[in-house]
Amino acid sequence: MATIYILYSPKTDTYYVGSTGNLNDRLNRHNTGRSTYTKRGIPWVIVYEKEYDTKSEAYQAEMYIKSQKSRKYIEDLIAHYKV
């Protein structure tokens, strides 16, 4: 299993899209500054997650979302996300 996730930083008002095999560990790495790109946005909160059967599928979904280059697209995904 692999998960695609979207994080939000209230501090910087930005979103981060990623994929991982262990969401809890990955979130911890983002929030402890061990991820260089997201270090300035601590604290990050998960606002969207979706599981896939394989890492490849999750990575493809991540790349698709990133290719949209649209905050509105990300916010629409989040708005329609049900926990």
Structure confidence at residue 82 as a pLDDT band (50, 70, 90): confident
Between CA 43 and CA 9 the distance in angstroms is 6
Architecture category of domain 2-79 in CATH = 3-Layer(aba) Sandwich (3.40)
User: In the structure encoding, which two tokens stand for residue 8, read together?
Assistant: 């939000």
Using the predicted structure, report yes or no on whether residue 78 has a pLDDT greater than 70.
yes
C-alpha torsion angle, residues 20, 63, 48, 69 (rounded to 10): 140
Please state, in angstroms and rounded to a whole number, the distance separating the CA atoms of residues 20 and 8. Answer: 16
Which has the closest alpha carbon to 18: 52, 83, 81? 52
Query: Residues 12-70: pLDDT tens digits?
Result: 999 999 999 999 999 999 999 998 899 999 999 999 999 999 999 999 999 999 999 99
